[in-house]
């Protein structure tokens, strides 16, 4: 599971140390139970389903707490993989699939809860469907970008940011009746913007690659070099550099 998620909460050395101080003891306890990283990943699924059920029944405060606890457990699989040296691409694949499933489950639970209100909020449900669809598009764009050798994790709202926003919306719904709808609108807007950012990044890089290949093919054939705009030349070099770094990481 070498490619298991890092998460936005681990961007700094201080953040990594703080999280490790809490996660490591629990991870070692899971190791003592002879649980593999993949088993820990699968174990997080019923915990998230249980948290989603609490949210769906309209208990937003307890649901928010269960949501936080279940997602915190999601940190352990990567740590167990590191402690055991059992990192693998299969584990990373399983982890990514479970992440997508969990995100959909939570949005469905929120939508169900909104339909059970004294005045069902159909508008917010439709926004939620759009938000989760855009979130899946973000994940697809990342996978496609990385398959092409580009950095696919860029953009405003990755999975970590979406889950933090979702957790705040669930908790605030306990005290403010429109918190979930506001959260879903923000989730939809952020997801669409992030999808656009990732698409534009790959599209621009691929344009640079195509022009660079045409230029080199013309040189090899002895044809006068066609005019290539300066920005495309710079983009091609940046794209090639980003691709080389991605291949080196893999």
Give the model confidence (pLDDT) of 74-111 as tens digits: 777 777 777 777 777 888 888 888 889 999 999 999 99
Clarify whether residues 31 and 80 are in a common domain: yes
Clarify whether residues 78 and 171 are in a common domain: no
Clarify whether residues 94 and 13 are in a common domain: yes
pLDDT at 67: 94
CATH of the domain at 11: 1.20.120.1760
At 104, list the tokens.
């959909």
The residue annotated as part of the active site, out of 74, 77, 95, 99, is: 99
Q: DSSP E strands: which ranges in 89-240? A: none
Residue 111 lies in a domain: no
Is there a catalytic annotation at residue 244? no
Clarify whether residues 87 and 164 are in a common domain: no
Instruction: Walk along the chain (250 residues) and give the pLDDT tens digit of each residue.
Output: 444 554 444 444 555 555 566 666 767 777 667 777 788 888 889 999 999 999 999 999 999 999 998 888 777 777 777 777 777 788 888 888 888 999 999 999 999 999 999 999 999 999 999 999 999 999 899 888 888 888 788 888 888 899 999 999 999 999 999 999 999 999 999 999 999 999 998 888 887 665 555 555 555 555 555 554 554 455 555 555 655 555 555 4
Report how many domains make up the chain.
Answer: 2
Clarify whether residues 10 and 95 are in a common domain: yes
Q: DSSP state, 1?
A: -
Tokens 């959909």 sit at which residue? 104
Residue 112 lies in a domain: no
For 143-162, letters b (16+ CB in 10 Å) and e give eebbeebbbbeebbbbbbbb
Clarify whether residues 226 and 145 are in a common domain: yes
Residue 46's contacts (CB-CB under 8 Å, 6 or more residues apart) are: none
Clarify whether residues 86 and 138 are in a common domain: no
Clarify whether residues 140 and 167 are in a common domain: yes
Residue 191's contacts (CB-CB under 8 Å, 6 or more residues apart) are: 131, 134, 135, 137, 138, 157, 162
Clarify whether residues 92 and 181 are in a common domain: no
pLDDT at 2: 41
CA-nearest of 84, 85, 71, 104 to 5 is: 71
Does residue 103 contact residue 71 with C-beta atoms inside 8 Å? no
pLDDT at 183: 96
Residue 87 lies in a domain: yes
Clarify whether residues 83 and 162 are in a common domain: no
pTM: 0.74
Residue 154 lies in a domain: yes
Residue 215 lies in a domain: yes
Clarify whether residues 90 and 133 are in a common domain: no
Domain of 74? Answer: 1-105
Clarify whether residues 163 and 216 are in a common domain: yes
Residue 110 lies in a domain: no
pLDDT at 1: 44
């Amino acid at each position: 599971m070498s490619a298991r998620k890092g998460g936005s909460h681990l961007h700094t050395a201080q953040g990594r140390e703080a999280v490790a101080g809490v996660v490591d003891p629990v991870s070692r306890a899971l190791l003592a139970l002879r649980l593999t990283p993949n088993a820990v990943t699968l174990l997080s699924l019923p915990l998230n389903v249980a948290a989603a059920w609490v949210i769906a029944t309209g208990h937003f405060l307890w649901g928010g707490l269960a949501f936080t606890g279940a997602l915190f457990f999601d940190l352990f699989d990567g740590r167990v993989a590191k402690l055991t040296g059992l990192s693998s691409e299969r584990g990373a694949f399983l982890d990514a699939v479970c992440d997508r499933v969990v995100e959909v489950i939570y949005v469905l639970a929120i939508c169900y809860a909104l339909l059970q209100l004294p005045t069902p909020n159909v508008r917010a449900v439709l926004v939620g469907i759009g938000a989760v669809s855009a979130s899946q598009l973000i994940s697809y764009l990342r996978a496609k970008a990385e398959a092409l050798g580009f950095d696919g994790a860029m953009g405003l709202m990755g999975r970590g940011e979406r889950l933090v926003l979702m957790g705040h919306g669930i908790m605030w719904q306990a005290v403010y009746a429109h918190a979930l709808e506001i959260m879903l609108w923000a989730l939809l807007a952020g997801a669409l913007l992030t999808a656009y950012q990732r698409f534009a990044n790959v599209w621009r890089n691929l344009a640079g690659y195509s022009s660079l290949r045409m230029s080199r093919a013309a040189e090899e054939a002895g044809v006068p070099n066609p005019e290539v705009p300066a920005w495309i030349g710079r983009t091609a070099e940046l794209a090639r550099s980003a691709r080389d770094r991605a291949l080196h990481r893999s």
